[in-house]
Amino acid sequence: MEPGPPRRNEDVWVIVPCYNEAPVVRGVIETVRRHFPNVVAVDDGSRDNSAAEIQASGARLVQHPVNMGAGAAYQTGVDFALRDPGAEFFVTFDADGQHRVEDVIAMVNHLRGVDTEVLIGSRFLGSVEGMSTSRRTLLKAAVVFERMTSGITLTDAHQGLRVFRRSFARILDLQSHDMSWASEFLTRMAEHKTTYEEFPVHVEYTDYSRSKGQRSINSVNIGMDVLINKLLRGR
Amino acid sequence: MQWIKIPLVLAAILILVIVFRNRQRVELRAGSRLLVVAMAAIAVVSIIDPDIPQAFANLLGVARGTDLLLYLLIVVFVLTTLGLYFRLRDTDQHLRRLVRSIAIDEAIRQDGPPGAPSGAAPGETDPRTS
């Protein structure tokens, strides 16, 4: 469904962390900015010319002088967007082009009509292209893991496309440095009894995004990080 | 039954619990300093009279004094490793906050605060921001 004239969406901030994504980041951000004027791209210490590409795309650029990981980059984007008093909706969006801006439009429109604080995109409610069976199985296992550690039940626990309100952005405070941010996000939701819904999204794995993506073995690291963070949190 | 097993297992569990729960507490840091002093004292005593650790080992059911020292060393090593791990975690966290704050300040210094109409943004100025 294509919306007619694009809505202004000035109360929405799209946060795009970027680490060595120079070949695609500009195109991704330009597509997003057709519908959402406020985009903050966090260059997480890239060694290629991602920063120049981001600036050419018209997004706000926040640059980490050193690489700090995806979780830290998302948190920087959230902190930056929170400085805008008009920011009401926050979107986490991947720089490698696997997410579709149509899904963001639908999610934001949905959130405007309900009281829910967080919308989590789900590949398994929607559709996914180019995902291997082994990856699918692993992600199903991750869902069970999240249910056990955070008590939050989802069909897709490690999907990066999420939309949330200012109230949740203020308490997010991601501390994990790498890809376990997705789990920490859920932990924070559980701690604060945040209201949430899942929303079907379409994810397209291109050769590019696959080459940049997570290796499955990293799920071991993520799992350990989640358990350690859980053990240490709040003490 | 070797009686040494009981204090060792208890020590291992206790260390984990204490370190995990109270890692910010001043008592823990004081405790680790006292432990260092105690270790130094044990070292001096063992050097002066090697029979003393042997006597302790016999008392606890360990065959040799060197074995007792090895067990103690393992306990101390685990403590040290955990302590350093926590310290590194905290340092990482401080570094991330610092870098984040610098990065955001720099972005605002260059292009103004977020939400302010920037030159590249499409459309007219936003009346919300002044």
Q: Which domains, from first to last, does chain A contain?
A: 12-232 (3.90.550.10)
When CB atoms are compared, the residue of B24, B100, B126 closest to A10 is B126
DSSP code per residue over B66-118: HHHHHHHHHHHHHHHHHHHHHHHHHHHHHHHHHHHHHHHHHHHHHH-STTSPP
Choose the most confident range, by mean pLDDT, from A144-158, B24-38, B70-84.
B70-84
The pLDDT of residue B10 is: 82
The pLDDT of residue B128 is: 45
More confident residue, A123 or B25: A123
Comparing C-alpha atoms, which of A232, A183, A203 is closest to residue A123? A203
**A186 falls in which pLDDT band (50, 70, 90)?**
confident
The pLDDT of residue A132 is: 74
Task: Return the residue in A30, A63, A166 with the most chain B beta carbons within 10 A, the one to mutate for interface testing.
Answer: A63
Check if B26 contacts A (Cβ < 8 Å). Answer: no
The pLDDT of residue B55 is: 81
Distance between CA atoms of A150 and A190, rounded to whole angstroms?
6
Give counts: helices (H), strands (E), chain A. 9, 7
**A77 falls in which pLDDT band (50, 70, 90)?**
very high
The pLDDT of residue A87 is: 93
The pLDDT of residue A6 is: 46
A50-54, A97-101, A136-140, range with the lowest pLDDT: A136-140
The label of the residue with tokens 């350093």 reads: B84
The pLDDT of residue B130 is: 39
Query: Do the Cβ atoms of A139 and A156 come closer than 8 Å?
Result: yes
Are β-strands A196-204 and A118-129 bridged in parallel, bridged antiparallel, or unpaired?
parallel
Mean of pLDDT values over B47-66:
79
pLDDT of A102 over the 50 cut: yes
**Percent of chain A surpassing pLDDT 90:** 42
Distance between CA atoms of A195 and A33, rounded to whole angstroms?
28
The pLDDT of residue A110 is: 93
pLDDT of A82 over the 90 cut: yes
Check if B114 contacts A (Cβ < 8 Å). Answer: yes
The pLDDT of residue A222 is: 73
Looking at beta carbons, which residues of chain B come within 8 Å of A33?
122
pLDDT of B115 over the 90 cut: no
Q: Which residue of A has its CA nearest to B122?
A: A37
Instruction: Give the closest-approach CA distance of A186 to chain B in angstroms.
Output: 20
Task: Kindly list the distances between the CA atom of residue A1 and the CA atoms of A4, A64, A106, A203, A227, in Å, as whole numbers in the listed order.
Answer: 9, 37, 9, 16, 41
Q: pLDDT digit string (tens) for A197-232?
A: 988 888 877 777 666 666 667 777 777 777 776 666
Mean of pLDDT values over B59-85:
79
Distance between CA atoms of A116 and A197, rounded to whole angstroms?
7
**Percent of chain B surpassing pLDDT 90:** 12
The pLDDT of residue A127 is: 66
Distance between CA atoms of A12 and B59, rounded to whole angstroms?
71
A139-143, B19-23, B27-31, range with the lowest pLDDT: B19-23
A18-22, A97-101, B82-86, B96-100, range with the lowest pLDDT: B82-86
Mean of pLDDT values over A14-43:
92
Task: Return the residue in B17, B96, B105, B118 with the most chain A beta carbons within 10 A, the one to mutate for interface testing.
Answer: B96
Distance between CA atoms of B83 and A58, rounded to whole angstroms?
46
Spatial CB neighbours of B5, under 8 Å, sequence gap ≥ 6? none
* Per-chain mean pLDDT for chain B: 76
Instruction: Give the closest-approach CA distance of A120 to chain B in angstroms.
Output: 25
The pLDDT of residue A14 is: 95
Tokens of residue B32, six digits: 């680790």
Distance between CA atoms of B4 and B58, rounded to whole angstroms?
10
**A234 falls in which pLDDT band (50, 70, 90)?**
very low
Q: Which H helix or E strand runs over B18?
A: helix B5-21
pLDDT of A235 over the 50 cut: no
Mean of pLDDT values over A22-48:
92
